[in-house]
């Protein structure tokens, strides 16, 4: 099957260059030097759009907005002669608007980079939701009743992703991540039902179920001599509940677990929304001995102020920076600075989204405390954790030499 792409750049020379490369790779290629002409093109039939950012009339950012508003499902490859920061912002903007972005190229175009990105085009199934573009979520997939039932029937289960201590590569904890085991539709990732749970007021019930199941697993591992910390994701909405600290303390005590082994993760961007109650709740959680982690650190606003006001014990560097640390000097600087900031504030720093050994080594050099990511392990059901823990030390010894 032929894949079709459209190249949009006000410089005809660039259009033709990309066209040549893509045709050599057997793509069907159309070109245009004016983004505003795309209005008349049927982009529904396109598999990808390779587009410049700086263009007269309609620029790349406007084009992104137009494509998003018109439900474009073609994957985007962005190009720009501007610095990589502008490209990264445009990429994020496009993803936030629900578009699929394969990657970005800085001009002058490196032919190998272009070929690599074009190779990705056939791999995208445009009819499926792309996992990292949360806003593409089709909420109409499920009804509130269906989700209510799923929560009460225990169809939503925690899976666990290992966290590793970088200094000695020890397996020290897990993050609990919600999975909906739908009887008909199969496994549904959290990005597709957490927003609905938040909007419909089901989130507290869902979180309670996640916490209870997670603590039960932790207690079970403990009886098998595997002591692990556990991190639970809390929606900012749940932090408005003043009864949360006592409730959580009660659960932990009932399981004979220690509060300081339980981390409450809240996303940075969300903490401020319910500031009055959440400050109260977070402070009391801390007083009861729980750890507090600021998730997706670096993506929200007024981080510094929140760090001062709220007794967080951990910074979790957002995976968007970690994944780009080797290829993008700005992302690398943010990672290094965040680790340094955490150290100065006597907080533990964890990097998420570690996908290769090189990134792990970079973080180790920076003296980041912990890592989590596909390079170590993907999230897994609770009944696989004991086996993973047995296997891990021999794998880890391969990395420590």
Q: Rule CB under 5 A: which residues touch Ca ion?
A: 233, 265, 295-296
Kindly state whether residue 353 participates in binding ligand C2E, applying the rule CB under 6 A. yes
With contact defined as beta carbons under 8 Å apart, do 121 and 102 qualify? Answer: yes
Stretch that binds ligand C2E, among 49-57, 62-70, 72-80, 184-192 (CB under 6 A): 184-192
Whole-number Å distance between alpha carbons of 338 and 359: 15
Whole-number Å distance between alpha carbons of 298 and 318: 7
Near ligand C2E in 135-164, by CB under 6 A = 161
Helix (H, G, I), strand (E, B) or coil at 32: strand
**DSSP secondary structure string for all residues of 125-145:** -TTSPPTT-GGG--GGGS-HH
* HSE of 79, CA atoms in CB hemisphere, 13 A: 23
CB closer to ligand C2E, 12 vs 120? 120
Near ligand C2E in 234-253, by CB under 6 A = 234-235
Please give the size of the binding site for ligand C2E, defined by CB under 6 A.
23
Q: Give percent helix, percent strand, percent coil of the chain, each to the nearest 5.
A: 50, 20, 30
Among 189, 195, 300, 311, binds ligand C2E (CB under 6 A): 189
Q: What pairing do the DSSP bridges indicate for beta strands 156-165 and 262-267?
A: unpaired
Contacted by 271, from ligand C2E, Ca ion, none: CB < 5 to 8 Å by type: none
Kindly state whether residue 382 participates in binding ligand C2E, applying the rule CB under 6 A. no
The site string for ligand C2E over 80-119 (x = CB under 6 A, - otherwise) reads ----------------------------------------
- In the block, tokens 């610095």 appear at 83
* HSE of 39, CA atoms in CB hemisphere, 13 A: 6
The least distance separating Ca ion from the CB of residue 342, rounded to whole angstroms, comes to: 15
CB closer to ligand C2E, 129 vs 330? 129
Whole-number Å distance between alpha carbons of 145 and 151: 10
The least distance separating ligand C2E from the CB of residue 303, rounded to whole angstroms, comes to: 16
Whole-number Å distance between alpha carbons of 196 and 178: 14
Near ligand C2E in 328-347, by CB under 6 A = none
Among 21, 104, 174, 177, binds ligand C2E (CB under 6 A): 177
Which residues lie near ligand C2E (CB under 6 A)? Answer: 161, 177-178, 189-191, 194, 207, 210, 233-235, 295-296, 319, 352-355, 372-374, 379
């Amino acid at each position: 099957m032929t894949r079709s792409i459209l190249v949009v750049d006000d410089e005809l020379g660039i259009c033709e260059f990309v066209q040549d490369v893509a045709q050599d790779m057997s793509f069907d290629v159309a070109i245009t030097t004016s983004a505003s002409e795309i209005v008349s093109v049927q982009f529904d039939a396109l598999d990808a759009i390779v587009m410049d950012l700086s263009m007269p009339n309609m620029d790349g950012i406007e084009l992104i907005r137009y494509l998003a508003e018109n439900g474009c499902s073609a994957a985007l490859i962005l190009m720009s002669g501007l610095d990589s920061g502008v490209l990264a912002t445009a990429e994020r903007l496009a993803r936030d608007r629900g578009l699929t972005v394969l990657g970005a190229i800085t001009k002058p175009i490196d032919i190998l980079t272009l070929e690599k990105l074009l190779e990705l085009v056939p791999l995208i199934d445009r009819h499926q939701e792309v996992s990292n573009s949360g806003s593409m979520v089709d909420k109409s997939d499920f009804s509130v009743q269906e989700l209510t039932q799923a929560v009460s029937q225990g169809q939503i289960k925690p899976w666990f992703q290992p966290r590793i201590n970088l200094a000695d590569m020890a397996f020290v904890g897990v993050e609990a991540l919600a999975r909906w085991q739908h009887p008909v539709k199969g496994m549904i990732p959290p990005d597709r039902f957490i927003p609905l749970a938040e909007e419909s007021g089901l989130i507290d019930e869902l979180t309670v179920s996640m916490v209870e199941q997670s603590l039960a697993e932790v207690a079970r591992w403990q009886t098998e001599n595997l002591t692990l910390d556990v991190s639970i994701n809390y929606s900012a909405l749940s932090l408005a509940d003043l009864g949360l600290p006592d409730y959580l303390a009660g659960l932990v005590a009932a399981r004979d677990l220690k509060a300081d082994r339980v981390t409450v993760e809240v996303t940075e961007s969300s903490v401020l929304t319910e500031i009055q109650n959440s400050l109260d709740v977070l402070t009391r959680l801390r007083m009861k001995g729980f750890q507090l982690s600021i998730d997706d650190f670096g993506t929200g606003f007024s981080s510094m102020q929140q760090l001062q006001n709220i007794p967080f014990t951990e910074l979790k560097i957002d995976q968007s920076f970690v994944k780009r640390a080797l290829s993008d000097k700005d992302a690398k600087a943010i990672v290094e600075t965040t680790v340094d900031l955490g150290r100065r504030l006597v907080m533990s720093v964890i990097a998420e989204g570690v996908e290769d050994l090189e990134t792990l080594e970079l973080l180790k050099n920076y003296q980041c405390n912990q890592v989590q990511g596909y390079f170590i392990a993907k999230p897994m059901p609770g009944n696989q954790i004991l086996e993973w823990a047995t296997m891990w030390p021999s794998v880890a010894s391969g990395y420590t030499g």
